Amino acid sequence: MAVTLEQAQRVGYTCLKALLRFAFMVANNLVAIPSYVLYLIMLQPLRVLDSKSFWYIEGVLFKWLLAMVASWGWWAGYTVVEWGDDVKAVSEDEAMVLVNHQATGDVCTLMMCLQDKGTVVRQMMWLMDHIFKYTNFGIVSLIHGDFFIRQGRAHRDQQLVLLKEHLEKYYRSRNRKWIVLFPEGGFLRKRRETSQAFAKKNNLPFLKHVTLPRLGATQVILKTLVVPQENGTPAGRDTVIKESKSKGLQWVIDTTIAYPKGEPIDIQTWILGYRQPTVTHVHYRIFPVKDVPAEPEALTHWLYQRFIEKEDLLTHFYETGAFPPPQGQTKAISREMTLSNLWLVGIQSLAFLSGGMWYCILQYFYHCLF
């Protein structure tokens, strides 16, 4: 079939735009990430004298870095509409966020839609696959205190021990509030067939839009971060609270990400922007942690129920283009999430100015030494 001039122009424009966006992203990373590292090196004396202030500043810089990632999608027209409970109401409390996982763009979507949730982004901890340690953002996550988990049965038990130690060492000492994890343990397209075979073998529901979650990391987080109740520690919870003023983990936020037509956005699309503007839909449901069972069998059932509900939510979304209304209501209310372009431009400008400043400083010291 012959290609028309209009089609050729459209393809050429898309390729040029993708190339320019990629060049901007590379330049953005080359100035922003080294600047983040150098600022924190310069602030090491503050870390010794006033650790709380140091991690506050680090959190602000971390939020700005995530805002830069969000801006790549925002300026390409990849926006977010939110449904369900308003998580701003619990943004200052400790919460565990459970998210379905379809593609690398899920992380970018969360980086965007959590930007306007108060202090959440600067005080959050991520659990992510260990492969992300070796990406351009890996050094930032290492410094921030995120946990890289190695998948696979051979590593499972050891990784859960390491996760517990990591939480005890870093979570409250760095004043973290939210912890984000993907309990499915991998992308939907990679785990669906295995999950469905497991479900059939164990007489569990057949799921198409999500997979059955894994218990390990969720159980460790609950055991480690839930504070004792007034009448004692909840059964089965080996709670470690070093910062006694903390109320501990108070909420579980069940988060469901849905893409139109079930076509997820990956990180390449987020960076290059060759896909048409897309609205991603995010549904929240908040559970008090006191309503989450502690015993492994009951917790497994509870966690399975959350993903069965996600299946129903996504089925309804793909059929109607909207999430269903909450129980007892006749209409679901959506909220369009927005970012300030002026704020994003300001952060990007600060990153490039910082990069220029550090380049001049390093050049000066180089000439002084040599």
Please list the helix, strand and coil fractions of the chain in percent, rounded to the nearest 5, in that order: 55, 15, 30
pLDDT of the residue at 196: 92
- Residue 211: closest CA among 193, 228, 226, 229: 193
CA distances (Å), 66 to each of 45, 73, 356, in order? 25, 11, 20
Backbone φ and ψ of 218, nearest 5°: -60, -45
Cα–Cα dist 307/46, whole Å: 44
Spatial separation of the C-alpha atoms in residues 264 and 139, rounded to whole Å: 27
pTM of the model: 0.90
Which residue's structure tokens are 């960076």?
Answer: 271
Q: Which residues contact 184 (CB under 8 A, 6 or more apart)?
A: 100, 101, 191, 195, 210, 211, 212, 213, 214, 307
**How many domains does the chain contain in total?**
1
- How far CA 359 is from CA of 73, 137, 356, in Å, comes to 28, 20, 5
Is position 238 within any domain? Answer: no
The tokens for 52 are 């709380």
d(CA 107, CA 180): 10
Q: 236 lies in a domain? A: no
* pLDDT value of residue 128: 87
In a domain? residue 234: no
Residue 242 lies in a domain: no
How far apart (Å, rounded) are the C-alpha atoms in residues 219 and 166?
14
3-state secondary structure of 156: helix
Give yes or no for a contact between 143 and 40, defined as CB atoms under 8 angstroms apart. yes
Domain assignment present for 163: yes
Dist. CA 147–CA 99, nearest whole Å? 16
* pLDDT tens digits in sequence order for the chain, 370 residues long: 566 777 777 878 889 889 999 999 999 999 999 999 999 999 999 999 999 999 999 999 999 999 999 999 999 999 999 999 999 999 999 999 999 999 999 999 999 999 999 999 999 999 988 888 888 889 999 999 999 988 777 777 899 999 999 999 999 999 999 999 999 988 998 999 999 999 999 999 999 999 999 999 999 999 999 976 654 444 444 444 444 456 899 999 999 999 999 999 999 999 999 999 999 999 999 999 999 998 999 999 999 999 999 999 999 999 999 999 888 788 888 999 999 999 999 999 999 999 999 999 988 888 888 7
Task: Say what the pLDDT of residue 153 is.
Answer: 74
pLDDT of res. 228:
66
Q: How far is CA 34 from the centre of its chain?
A: 22
47 domain-assigned: yes
Q: How far apart are CA 121 and CA 109, in angstroms?
A: 13
Q: Is 241 within a domain? A: no
Starting at the edge strand found earlier in the chain, the sheet holding 78-84 runs 147-149, 124-129, 178-181, 94-99, 249-258, 278-288, 78-84, 334-337
- Helix, strand or coil, per DSSP, at residue 329: coil
Please tell me the predicted confidence (pLDDT) of residue 3. Answer: 65
User: In angstroms, rounded to a whole number, what is the distance separating the alpha carbons of residues 255 and 107?
Assistant: 12
Contacts 24+ apart (CB under 8 A), 127-131: 127/163, 127/179, 127/180, 127/181, 127/182, 127/217, 128/182, 129/186
Q: Whole domain around residue 157: which residue ranges?
A: 5-227+247-324+331-369
144, part of any domain:
yes
Classify 233 as helix, strand or coil. Answer: coil
Note the pLDDT of residue 230: 52
pLDDT at res. 2: 60
pLDDT the model gives residue 244: 44
